[in-house]
Amino acid sequence: MAVTILALITVSISTLLSQSVYSNTKSKEITIATALAQDKIEELKALSFGEVRVKIGEQNEECIDSNAIYFHRSVRIQTENINLLKITVEVQGDNGVVEIATYKGKF
C-alpha cells in the first residue's frame, strides 16, 4: 500500500517537473527572440530616414545562434506614406514567433 501511494506521488511530481522545465525553456526562447527583435529595431531606428528608406522591402537574415538556440530573423520595411515607414521585425525560434513593429517618420 505504501509503495502504491509513493508511486502515485512520484508520478505526479515528475509530471509537474517536466512541464516546468518545458515552460522555462519556452520562456527563455521567447525572451531571447524578443531581445533579438528589439536589437534590430533599435539598429534601424538609429539610421536616418533616407538610410532606412533605401532598405524598403523584406530582408531575411541568416540564422542567429544564441545560447545554443537557433533563430531566424526577418525585417520588413513598408511605406505608409511619403513621410512614414513601418518597420516590422520577426524572429522565429522552435517555440514560436516574436514580431515587433515600429514607425519611422520624416517630419
pLDDT in tens, 41-54: 999 999 999 999 99
Q: How far apart are the C-alpha atoms of 94 and 26, rounded to whole Å?
A: 9
Query: Quick check: 102 and 87 in contact, CB under 8 A?
Result: yes
Domain parsing of the chain, residue ranges: 2-105
pLDDT in tens, 21-75: 888 888 989 999 999 999 999 999 999 999 999 989 988 877 888 778 899 999 9
Evaluated on CA atoms 74, 50, 41, 103, the torsion sign reads negative
Is CATH 3.30.1300.30 the classification given to domain 2-105?
A: yes
Q: Is the pTM of this model over 0.85?
A: no
